[in-house]
C-alpha cells in the first residue's frame, strides 16, 4: 500500500463540492494520504500578535491564498478531490482517520445569529495551540483541552455545478462532528465513480452543536487518512466507528426530523450488528443510545446517535 503527500496549493485546493473538478490525486483502496491543510478561511499566516483581539476589518485584511475563483472557491478551503480506483455508486468509502495534528494557532467568533450589519462589532478570539501538550490558550486568558478533528469530509454528489461546502449532505461534507477524532473511521456513501473525496476545515476543539457558529478554526500540521471501499455496508447512510462508540447521523432543517433520521439509522445498525428485530432495536435504543446535537449552524441541523462501546453486550 502506498502513502501519498499533498500540500495546500492551486491544484489541490478548492472551496466547493463538484464532480466536475479534476482529481488532485488518484489512489488505490488501502492507500494513505498525508497532508497539511489551511484553515477554513484560506488564511496563509496568522495575525502578528495572537494576544490581541482583531476586529472584522483587520480580519479581512489578513493574507489569504490566491488566486481563487468565484463560486469554485467560495467555501471552506478543501484538499482534493481524491479519486479512489474502483469506487462506484452504491459502495461506501471507509476513511480511517489515523492521525490529526493541529496547527499552532486558531480563531473563533460569535458568528451564529450575527447579521452582516453587525460584523464591525465582532472581535475574533485568537488561540495559541500546543499540539504536544494538547492545550489551547486564548488571547483573553481561557485554556481548553484540544481534541482536533476535520469539520468537512465528503464525497462529490452526482449533481451539476459547484455545490456549497456549508450544508452536510447524504455523501458527507460539513459534518462538524467533534467525535471524528484520530482513531475513528467514517463511512461515506459514494455517488459518483471514484468517490472524489475532499476534506478540510480543521477544528482544534468544539462543543456539541457548534453553538456560536465556529469551533477553534485552525490549519492542520498533519492529517493522515487511509481509504478502503465497502461493497456491502451494514447500512446505506453515513456512520462512523469512533473512540466514543458507533455513530449514525441525521440532517434536516427541522431538528426533530434530523433526530428521527439519526435514530432510524441507528436502529438499522443495531439490527445489522446484533441480529435483532426493529422493535427490539428500538427498545434497546431507549436503554443504550445517546442522541446528541452535532451542529445547529450549517443551514441544516445535525444530530448523531451514539452507541457507546460496550453499552450492549
Kindly calculate the radius of gyration of the chain based on its CA atoms and give it in whole angstroms.
19
Residue 120 has pLDDT above 70, yes or no: no
Question: What's the start-to-end Cα distance of the chain, in Å?
Answer: 35
pLDDT of residue 30: 98
Residue 119 has pLDDT above 90, yes or no: no
Specify whether the CB–CB gap between 120 and 57 falls below 8 A: yes
Q: Which helix (H) or strand (E) holds 264?
A: helix 255-274
Residue 122 has pLDDT above 90, yes or no: no
Of 201, 232, 263, which marks where a domain is finished?
A: 232
- Same domain, yes or no: 71 and 95: yes
Residue 145 has pLDDT above 60, yes or no: yes
Residue 114 has pLDDT above 90, yes or no: no
pLDDT of residue 18: 98
pLDDT of residue 115: 47
Burial of 311 (0-12, 13-18, 19+ CB in 10 A): middle
- Same domain, yes or no: 215 and 267: no
- Same domain, yes or no: 251 and 136: no
Number of domains comprising the chain? 2
- Same domain, yes or no: 223 and 117: yes
Mean pLDDT estimate for the chain: 95
Residue 113 has pLDDT above 70, yes or no: no
Angstrom distance (rounded) from CA 11 to CA 28: 20
- Same domain, yes or no: 32 and 114: yes
**Domain span at 254:** 234-313
Return the closest-CA partner of residue 172 out of 201, 207, 215. Answer: 201
Of 232, 256, 285, which marks where a domain is finished?
A: 232
- Same domain, yes or no: 220 and 238: no
Prior bond to 81 cis, omega within 30? yes
- Same domain, yes or no: 228 and 242: no
- Same domain, yes or no: 90 and 171: yes
In tens, the pLDDT along 212-270 reads 999 999 999 999 999 999 999 999 999 999 999 999 999 999 999 999 999 999 999 99
pLDDT of residue 257: 98
- In this prediction, residues 127-139 reach a mean pLDDT of 98
- Same domain, yes or no: 210 and 264: no
- Same domain, yes or no: 272 and 159: no
- Same domain, yes or no: 306 and 171: no
Angstrom distance (rounded) from CA 259 to CA 12: 35
- In this prediction, residues 155-170 reach a mean pLDDT of 97
Q: Where is mean pLDDT largest: 56-70, 111-125, 175-189? A: 175-189
pTM for the whole structure: 0.95
In tens, the pLDDT along 168-217 reads 999 999 999 999 999 999 999 999 999 999 999 999 999 999 999 999 99
Q: Rounded to the nearest 10 degrees, what angle do helices 255-274 and 278-288 cross at?
A: 110
Burial of 57 (0-12, 13-18, 19+ CB in 10 A): exposed
pLDDT of residue 56: 84
| Domain CATH number, residue 22 | 2.60.120.580
C-alpha cell recorded at residue 197: 473525496
Of 199, 232, 265, which marks where a domain is finished?
A: 232
In tens, the pLDDT along 15-59 reads 999 999 999 999 999 999 999 999 999 999 999 999 988 888 888
- Same domain, yes or no: 10 and 53: yes
In tens, the pLDDT along 273-292 reads 999 999 999 999 999 999 99
Angstrom distance (rounded) from CA 112 to CA 44: 25
- In this prediction, residues 1-8 reach a mean pLDDT of 96
pLDDT of residue 111: 74
Amino acid at each position: 500500500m502506498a502513502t501519498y503527500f499533498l500540500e495546500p496549493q492551486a491544484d489541490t485546493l478548492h472551496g466547493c463540492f463538484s464532480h466536475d473538478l479534476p482529481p488532485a490525486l488518484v489512489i488505490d483502496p488501502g492507500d494513505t494520504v498525508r497532508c497539511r491543510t489551511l484553515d477554513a478561511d484560506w488564511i496563509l499566516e496568522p495575525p502578528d500578535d495572537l494576544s490581541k483581539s482583531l476586529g472584522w476589518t483587520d480580519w479581512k485584511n489578513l493574507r489569504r491564498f490566491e488566486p481563487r475563483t468565484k463560486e469554485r472557491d467560495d467555501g471552506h478551503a478543501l484538499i482534493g478531490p481524491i479519486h479512489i480506483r474502483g469506487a462506484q455508486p452504491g459502495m461506501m468509502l471507509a476513511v480511517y482517520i489515523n492521525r490529526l495534528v493541529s496547527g499552532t494557532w486558531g480563531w473563533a467568533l460569535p458568528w451564529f445569529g450575527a447579521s452582516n450589519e453587525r460584523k464591525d462589532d465582532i472581535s475574533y478570539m485568537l488561540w495559541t495551540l500546543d499540539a504536544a501538550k494538547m492545550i489551547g490558550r486564548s488571547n483573553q486568558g481561557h485554556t481548553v483541552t484540544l481534541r482536533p478533528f476535520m469539520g468537512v469530509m465528503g464525497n462529490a454528489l452526482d449533481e451539476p455545478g459547484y455545490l456549497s461546502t456549508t450544508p452536510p449532505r447524504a455523501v458527507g461534507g460539513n459534518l462538524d462532528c467533534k467525535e471524528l477524532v484520530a482513531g475513528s473511521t467514517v463511512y461515506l456513501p459514494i455517488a459518483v465513480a471514484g468517490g472524489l473525496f475532499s476534506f478540510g476545515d480543521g477544528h482544534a476543539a468544539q462543543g456539541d452543536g457548534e453553538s456560536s457558529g465556529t469551533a477553534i478554526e485552525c490549519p492542520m500540521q498533519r492529517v493522515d487518512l487511509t481509504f478502503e471501499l465497502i461493497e456491502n455496508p451494514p447500512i446505506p447512510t453515513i456512520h462512523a466507528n469512533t473512540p466514543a462508540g458507533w455513530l449514525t447521523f441525521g440532517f434536516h432543517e427541522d431538528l426533530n426530523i434530523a433526530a428521527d433520521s439519526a435514530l432510524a439509522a441507528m436502529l438499522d445498525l443495531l439490527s445489522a450488528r446484533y441480529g435483532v428485530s426493529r422493535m427490539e432495536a428500538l427498545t434497546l435504543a431507549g436503554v443504550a443510545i445517546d442522541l446528541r446535537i452535532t451542529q445547529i449552524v450549517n443551514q441544516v441541523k445535525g444530530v448523531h446517535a451514539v452507541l457507546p462501546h460496550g453499552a450492549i453486550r
